[in-house]
Structure 1
Amino acid sequence: MSRRPNTSRRFADSGSIPFVGALHPKSRPSPLLSVGLLVVGALLIVGYLYHGSGGRSSNIAALNRLDGGVSCTLELQKLVPLLKKAYGDSMRTVLHVGPETCSVVSELLKEEDTEAWGVEPYELDDADGNCRSLVHKGIVRVADIKFPLPYKAKSFSLVIVSDAVDYLSPRYLNKTVPELARVSSDGLVILSGYPGHQRAKVAEVSKFGRPAKFRSSSWWVKFFIQNGLEENETAVKKFEQAAAKKAYKPSCQVFHLKPLH
């Protein structure tokens, strides 16, 4: 599940500065035009420096703004308080699986009495300092989830997956989802996009290797049954109660499953 290499060239690669010709003394532009061009150039430079600083969590957000899609990983960070209500003590040891897992793990580690780990299914080409530190400590691993996870059964109380299963074909889902349930002792939470979500195909294929396939809830229910996975009714009830109190409606499908033992 490696990302395809990003062949797009960055601003600095061109070896030139935008609008430099317009600022040549012989052109004698009006003062307002000169100021305007300087402001635009400054904004471009600031944007480039920010991008180069390693803010990986902004990558998905920017993609969403461009294509109108929804990132379940960003959605997950909003759902953490609801998940705490639903799972309580089961939030003690959490494994997150999905892209941008460094940002998710960092947020989970801020929660009291919560230890968190992550699996990044795609190559970390532009990881920031915090993400590299998490990888160096072994808290975050880069691993192809089409293959068995490098953890023993029941290694984590709760496993949460976002923006990962939508990019797997049924052939690999049949192996991956039961494997995710295997390493959980209390439950598995899967966030999946709703059918009808649109993504920018070119950017998406470049990032994930293939476009996402958003499946209906009925498709997922049938899939879970075929693979011997049961709904965690207790967690579902608590989660829905917490969501109702907050008048919150998730932008992604949220499935609560019992561990597979």
Structure 2
Amino acid sequence: MSRRPVNPARRLVDGGSIPFMGSAHSKSRSSPLLPVILLAVGAVLLIGYLYSGSGDVSCMLEVQRALPVLKKAYGDSMRKVLHVGPETCSVVSKLLKEEDTEAWGVEPYDLDDVDANCKSLVRKGIVRVADIKFPLPYRAKSFSLVIVSDAVDYLTPKYLNKTLPEMARVSADGVVIFTGYPGQHSAKIAELSKFGRPAKLRSPSWWIKYFLQNNLEDNEAATKKFEQAAAKRSYKPACQVFHIKSLH
């Protein structure tokens, strides 16, 4: 696809020379450990960049990391999943590899330069391109679980008021929302022509207040199970994760 996350490794190279490199050219013989040490330091810096709040964040990738935790928390509710968000073909493909899991996807934006696998998913109707500011093209409770990533950050409250209840409508057992933290940069931020507006990364307190004001109930049981499963696997989400009950 044409939407690609920024390559942090390239930034590290382009950012200038590595400190202490000049000292390597001393009259005395350099230590054979020096290249190994420099490589290790570079790896640490790269990992830190990827997971720091100042790096580019893709909650779509975070969903894929979280799948084992979600399966533990939701159990049978992972049997029929709808993913909503950019690059949904990647998430759907990953879900379809899971045992006893059916998966569908909604791509909120036009697909450009997609691979053969994504074209196949679209052709089969497994992935649809649809503007999520309007009603989703599914009946109520069509899916056991709806997972959302990198989508709600680009919606104003006006459209959130329509979109989130729609996601709760088409789910039977709940909605899981992956959204960025304030201070993070979305991996999609440079593509304003695609999204129409920059991402608005809101605080946890903003979201909690929003859910209450719009009668979207927190799924406390799922939240607790998710947190317990995450702790056992030493999993720390790079995105905010909210668990919302379905509309009954």
Counterparts of 1:6-21 in structure 2 under 5 Å?
none
User: What pairs with 1:130-145 in structure 2 (closer than 5 Å)?
Assistant: 130-145=117-132
Residue pairs, 1:172-211, within 5 angstroms: 172-199=159-186, 203-211=190-198
Residues 60 and 71, structure 1, Cα contact 8 Å, conserved in 2? no
Answer yes or no: is the 8 Å Cα contact 1:189–1:257 preserved in 2: yes
Counterpart among 143, 155, 168 of residue 156 in structure 1: 143
What corresponds to 2:65 in structure 1? 78
Question: Is 1:226 the counterpart of 2:213 in the alignment?
Answer: yes
Mapped partners of 2:64, 2:188: distance in 1? 25
Is the contact made by 1:187 and 1:258 (CA closer than 8 Å) also made in structure 2? yes
- With over 3 angstroms needed to count, the CA separation of the structure-2 counterparts of 1:205 and 1:93, relative to structure 1, is same
Displacement, 1:151? 0.3
- Identity, % of aligned positions: 75
* Structure whose CA Rg is larger: 1
Match of 1:22 in 2: none
Q: How many pairs are equivalent? A: 205
Query: Which one-letter code corresponds to 1:81 in the other structure?
Result: P
* Structure 2 letter corresponding to 1:62: V
Contact 2:168 2:246 in 1 (8 A): yes
CA distance in 1, matches of 2:221, 2:209: 20
2:56 is aligned with 1:69 = yes
Aligned to 2:38: none
Q: SS at 1:112's partner residue?
A: coil
Q: 1:252 to 1:64 in 2, by over 3 A?
A: farther
The answer to whether the Cα contact below 8 Å between 1:64 and 1:70 also exists between their aligned partners in 2 is: no
The aligned counterpart of 1:19 is none
Q: Which TM-score applies when normalising by structure 1? A: 0.75
Post-superposition CA distance 1:139-165 (Å, at most 9, x none): 000000000000000000000000000
Amino acid at match of 1:128: D
Note the C-alpha offset of 1:202.
Answer: 6.8
Shift of 1:246: 1.4
SS at match of 1:152: coil
1:180-199 alpha-carbon deviations (Å, 9 max, x no partner): 10000001000000011125
In the TM superposition, residue 61 of structure 1 has moved relative to its aligned partner by 3.1
- Distance in 2, matches of 1:162 and 1:181, equals 15
Q: Is the 8 A contact 1:105 1:117 kept in 2?
A: yes
- Describe the shift of the 1:237–1:107 C-alpha distance in structure 2 as closer, same or farther (beyond 3 A): same
Flag structure 1 segments of 5+ consecutive residues without an equivalent.
Answer: 1-55
Deviations 1:56-115 (A, max 9, x none): 3x8443367768221000111000000000000000100000000001000000000000
For residues 195 and 202 of structure 1, the distance between their equivalents in structure 2, rounded to whole angstroms, comes to 13
Q: Name the amino acid aligned to 2:6.
A: A
Match of 2:102 in 1: 115
Question: Given the superposition, is the C-alpha separation of residues 64 and 107 from structure 1 closer, same or farther in structure 2, using an over 3 Å criterion?
Answer: farther
Pairing partner for 1:253 from 233, 236, 240: 240
Kindly report the root-mean-square deviation, in angstroms, between the aligned alpha carbons of the 2 structures: 1.8
- 1:15-72 C-alpha deviation (Å, 9 max, x unpaired): xxxxxxxxxxxxxxxxxxxxxxxxxxxxxxxxxxxxxxxxx3x844336776822100
1:196–1:214 contact (8 Å) kept in structure 2: yes
Moved over 4 A (4+): 63-67, 199-202
SS at match of 2:184: coil
Q: Which range moved further: 216-225 or 158-167?
A: 216-225
